[in-house]
Homo-oligomer: A and B are copies of this chain.
Amino acid sequence: MEFTAQQIADFLNGTVAGDPTVRVSGFSKIEEGQPGTLTFLANPKYEHYIYNTRASIALVNDSFEPSQPVSVTMVKTPDAYSALARLLSLYEQSKPVKSGIDATAFVSPTATIGEGCYIGAFAYIGDNASIGDGAHIYPFVYIGDNVQTGKNSIIYPHVTIYERCVVGACCIIHAGAVIGADGFGFAPQNGEYKKIAQIGNVVLEDNVEIGANTTIDRAVMGSTLIKRGVKLDNLIQIAHNVEVGEHTVMAAQTGIAGSTKVGAGCMFGGQVGLGGHISIGDGTQIGAQSGVISNTKAGSKIMGSPAIPVNKFMRSSVITPKLPDIWQTVNRLEKEIEELKKTVKQY
């Protein structure tokens, strides 16, 4: 499929600066722009690329004022990045859609499959499981007994959903994620550990996206709860009985210990660790690699391990490499003061 600059501008309610008849059939990054593709400029840091890009069309912000001549045709919209997102989404939706239940899939006779579902080869749907309308269940997905999934959810290959867990509507679960494995609960007993049965489940509300190989453990009792709109990146660990508030996002490799409650609208960098049984206020922002062991108030911005306010962390980080100098100076000053005290005493 090809589109002209004018067609794209019309779709986006934007305007064309340049040749409205130029055509594109794909996308490229601005630094790698190829003829016949559309690129975009949202971050001013990359502005210099637009003066030499070989792409045919560039999405730019209305506010963009070139400081040099540009040869690429520009499509101007109020927000180039979200305009791009709309185009990418359109492109994605043009892909052929899979449907039907593959003959090799294992579907329990007591399971319920909604209308318009795709159940891929070798997928496994357990007893009394219920798959919502329009779901995409890829090959090798394991849906345990009594699992429920909502409408239009997409579950990629090799996802495991243990028995009795619940997945909302319009969720996306990437390959290899494990939903509902046993929480890590053991009672010490005579120098050994006795397993505590984990009889709860995991509930993902609507519009949740779970990254590849992320693990979310079932509750010991009740539910580990991931609320509406939460986005979790890859290789994240969510322990038993954790709750994550609406529209919170976490970058990859973050880990949250048991029973911690995370508020709504939080943003965590990568490789963050949260202790157990704490409460993270709404809108908390936590820098990458931080370790958090106590409650945070709503709107906190923290970093470090243990985490402190981010501005304090930044200022301390600058000083840390000077520690050997500080140590040396303090030792020297100590001696100098001793000398001074002696000298002064003599008077």
List residues of chain B with CB within 8 A of the CB of A304.
Answer: 320
When the two chains form the complex, which single residue of B196, B207, B323 contacts A88, counting CB atoms closer than 8 Å? B196
List residues of chain B with CB within 8 A of the CB of A289.
Answer: 273, 291, 305
A193-B231, A273-B288, A327-B326 in contact; A215/B221 too (CB < 8 A)? Answer: no
List residues of chain B with CB within 8 A of the CB of A341.
Answer: 336, 340
Q: Is the CB of B257 within 8 A of A251?
A: yes
When the two chains form the complex, which single residue of B85, B235, B330 contacts A215, counting CB atoms closer than 8 Å? B235
Q: Is A178 an interface residue (CB 8 A)?
A: yes
Copies of this chain present in the complex amount to 3
List residues of chain B with CB within 8 A of the CB of A162.
Answer: 156, 175
Interface residues in A142-198 by Cβ distance below 8 A to B read 142, 156-158, 160, 162, 172, 174-176, 178, 181-182, 184, 186-187, 189, 191-198
15 pairs across A/B with beta carbons < 8 Å?
A: A27-B221, A32-B222, A82-B189, A82-B194, A140-B158, A172-B195, A213-B215, A215-B235, A234-B237, A273-B289, A304-B320, A316-B323, A323-B323, A326-B327, A330-B333
- Besides the contacts A162-B175, A178-B212, A315-B324, what 17 more A-B pairs have beta carbons closer than 8 Å? A28-B222, A81-B187, A82-B187, A82-B194, A91-B197, A158-B176, A160-B176, A184-B211, A212-B217, A215-B234, A237-B270, A289-B291, A316-B320, A316-B323, A330-B330, A336-B337, A337-B337
